[in-house]
Chains A and B, each alone.
Chain A
């Protein structure tokens, strides 16, 4: 693959730790309501913790490609504003991870389409073509697979841990209904 030298090292690390975001990071803010965003697709970004508007826009398209609406169940990534949910789980201390995520998004948006001879950015491609490109990345090996695995892992984890998704796949979820554990606030 000609793309192997084009990824920043942080993106490669993201690949190697592709569940980093999925498994980690303490949320400091509640997930933004999906309702306001559900019908706007990649419209105005909600208030974001760490992602910028461009990150958010591209990540929204990625999640929509990975978990589209309809099919086996109606709910899709856009319905829960999955990109915003992922943003809430990022931590400011984890700069490498954030850089890695940005690198993956930029690669997918601007360079990956060239792998299948398409000039337009990923987010401008039709759904079917976007899915086809992601499958191409999956099977390509090297950094292309890195990007696929990283973005897929994050998206699947945070979508299927969102309680809005649970009824869709016949999962009734935890028995206890509690919020996140509260960490003591310290003022030295």
Chain B
């Protein structure tokens, strides 16, 4: 059963066994496992309930509807946008349906550095099998690969570089091209179409437009959740909600899960809470090709091919290096690329169909932290503190030059990026300008789509917030199953890693292990 906030007209009091806070990758999986175990389960999602018929494929409408803070959530210095979904299905609704596993080197890194010996490929294998089956993970079909992405693969093949086509959780995709705005055709198999309906069919009650404010331990090893029904859009408070339960599974995302724990005073004895943030920052690049070479970046699977020659993944540091991936379907965002204005900018935009767009992803080491302020109505104002390291900046510049050189090799005439001050690069002999690239707030807009790490797994409370079964170190019956548990960046796309980790822990819990 799905109950939307506007269907609630008075204060609400409930009793249940398990409450899942959040309905994205981790929350959806958790809800399904709890419900399948026959446990009375309630899911609370702050965002609204939207369906395919609501998705109009327009950035200016869908980002306010589906993204946390309308897509405006940023690091405190304003350098990096931190995109997260905030809707029924969470980020699984707004991602590009790329299904990548936790890299083997990352698991080895976690084992070596953090002693996480239970998180092995063998121990996760059954979870991959379950998740992949539920999400229909398969290699993307050739028919929906567009020229914008294929140019990466063809150029890589010509140069002898590693590249490939993503696996994806789609079903019947027609390649309309607007994954970032939610799938208008129900092809993307997010939790909104898979785990949540499955949980609902098993009896779970899923409330949307309900924000969890705090958790109160009550007698008998039980908890009371204090929440608020909020108005869709403005998220203004409407009615209070109280839910008494035995078990809480936090899946509100890396930014908001620790906020709820902190406000509840449950952070005592958890020194790592809110620390160790990874963002995997990326920058958008555009490359204008001759008019005859149509990229049509807005049709087809937007992020379907990667060039991974410069991945540098090792057990010593996890993910490293840098990589390129095609992107598309965001004309408004892409129009902000370059430093041009006036007629020069119009000339550039006239070449939109023959312009290639890609993202340069540069993995980072966990170095950020969170703190929070709360408004009088209980809503949280997160602060994401994050500073680029000197090593990352060097790697970024090397990656930028390599990516630009790669695009010239592919036939590009001009390369721009999401900086309002950095001028176009029009030939390979200008690549040295990247050495002076302005990596400063306001001079470039970096983006993170994979914030992780605020409640990382650790073998004890000094090392992490949760154990290897994702239970809080300091309390019984509270679990965390979202991206916050990742000790370092798990993969270039984090939906599958979150789901697999959640599946392993929740399957065990549901089986009574």
List A residues at the B interface (Cβ < 8 Å): 13, 15-20, 22-27, 65-68, 70-73, 89, 91, 93, 131, 134-135, 138-139, 145-146, 148-149, 152-153, 156-161, 166, 168-171, 173-176, 178-186, 188
Tell me if A25 and B74 are in contact (CB < 8 A). Answer: no
Give the chain B neighbours of A182 by CB distance below 8 A.
Answer: 54
**Max chain B C-beta neighbours (<10 A), residue from A23, A91, A161, A178:** A23
CA distance A61 to B65 in the complex (A): 30
**Max chain A C-beta neighbours (<10 A), residue from B67, B69, B178, B233:** B233
Tell me if B298 and A171 are in contact (CB < 8 A). Answer: yes
Tell me if A131 and B341 are in contact (CB < 8 A). Answer: yes
CA distance A68 to B345 in the complex (A): 10
Tell me if A181 and B72 are in contact (CB < 8 A). Answer: no
Give the chain A neighbours of B420 by CB distance below 8 A.
Answer: 18, 138, 145, 148-149, 152-153
Give the chain B neighbours of A145 by CB distance below 8 A.
Answer: 420-421, 442-443
> Nearest Cβ in chain B — how far from A101, in angstroms?
14
**Max chain A C-beta neighbours (<10 A), residue from B4, B332, B333:** B332
**Max chain B C-beta neighbours (<10 A), residue from A153, A160, A173:** A160
Tell me if A160 and B50 are in contact (CB < 8 A). Answer: no
Q: Knowing A134-B341, A138-B339, A178-B56 are in contact, say whether A186-B6 is a contact too (CB < 8 A).
A: yes
CA distance A13 to B78 in the complex (A): 8
> 1/0 contact trace for B318-356 toward A, CB 8 Å?
000000000000011111100101110111011011000
Q: Knowing A18-B442, A178-B56, A188-B238 are in contact, say whether A26-B64 is a contact too (CB < 8 A).
A: yes
Tell me if A183 and B343 are in contact (CB < 8 A). Answer: no
Give the chain A neighbours of B336 by CB distance below 8 A.
Answer: 19, 22, 152-153, 156-157
Tell me if B341 and A181 are in contact (CB < 8 A). Answer: no
Give the chain B neighbours of A173 by CB distance below 8 A.
Answer: 57, 298, 331
CA distance A73 to B345 in the complex (A): 11
Give the chain B neighbours of A188 by CB distance below 8 A.
Answer: 9, 238-239
Give the chain A neighbours of B72 by CB distance below 8 A.
Answer: 17, 19-20, 23-24
- B419 — nearest CB in chain A belongs to which residue? A149
Q: Knowing A159-B335, A170-B352 are in contact, say whether A67-B346 is a contact too (CB < 8 A).
A: yes
Contacts A149-B443, A161-B60 given; 13 further ones with Cβ under 8 A? A24-B64, A24-B69, A71-B342, A158-B60, A158-B332, A160-B335, A161-B59, A174-B178, A176-B55, A178-B55, A180-B56, A181-B54, A186-B5
* Chain A CB within 8 A of B141 CB: no
CA distance A123 to B335 in the complex (A): 24
> Nearest Cβ in chain A — how far from B159, in angstroms?
30
Contact-size category for B: 35 or more
* Chain A CB within 8 A of B441 CB: yes
CA distance A71 to B48 in the complex (A): 43
Give the chain A neighbours of B62 by CB distance below 8 A.
Answer: 181
Give the chain A neighbours of B101 by CB distance below 8 A.
Answer: none
CA distance A70 to B342 in the complex (A): 10
CA distance A16 to B71 in the complex (A): 14
Tell me if B48 and A65 are in contact (CB < 8 A). Answer: no
Tell me if A160 and B298 are in contact (CB < 8 A). Answer: no
Tell me if A170 and B331 are in contact (CB < 8 A). Answer: no
Give the chain B neighbours of A159 by CB distance below 8 A.
Answer: 335
Tell me if B176 and A175 are in contact (CB < 8 A). Answer: yes
Give the chain A neighbours of B371 by CB distance below 8 A.
Answer: none
CA distance A173 to B5 in the complex (A): 32
CA distance A179 to B63 in the complex (A): 14
CA distance A177 to B54 in the complex (A): 11
Give the chain B neighbours of A161 by CB distance below 8 A.
Answer: 58-60, 331-332
Tell me if B70 and A186 are in contact (CB < 8 A). Answer: no
Give the chain B neighbours of A68 by CB distance below 8 A.
Answer: 342-343, 346
Give the chain B neighbours of A149 by CB distance below 8 A.
Answer: 420-421, 442-443
- A166 — nearest CB in chain B belongs to which residue? B331
> Nearest Cβ in chain A — how far from B468, in angstroms?
37
Tell me if A181 and B56 are in contact (CB < 8 A). Answer: yes
CA distance A181 to B184 in the complex (A): 12
Give the chain B neighbours of A73 by CB distance below 8 A.
Answer: 346, 350
Give the chain B neighbours of A181 by CB distance below 8 A.
Answer: 50, 54-56, 61-62, 65
Tell me if A26 and B184 are in contact (CB < 8 A). Answer: no
Tell me if B442 and A176 are in contact (CB < 8 A). Answer: no
CA distance A91 to B72 in the complex (A): 13
Tell me if B9 and A16 are in contact (CB < 8 A). Answer: no
Tell me if A157 and B176 are in contact (CB < 8 A). Answer: no
Tell me if B346 and A175 are in contact (CB < 8 A). Answer: no
Q: Knowing A89-B60, A93-B234 are in contact, say whether A66-B341 is a contact too (CB < 8 A).
A: yes
* Chain A CB within 8 A of B232 CB: yes
Contact of B421 among A139, A153, A183, A185 (CB under 8 A): A139
Sampled A-B contacts (25; CB under 8 Å): A15-B78, A17-B74, A18-B442, A19-B71, A23-B81, A24-B63, A24-B64, A26-B64, A68-B343, A71-B342, A72-B349, A135-B341, A152-B420, A157-B60, A157-B335, A161-B332, A166-B331, A169-B350, A169-B352, A171-B353, A173-B298, A173-B331, A174-B57, A181-B65, A183-B233
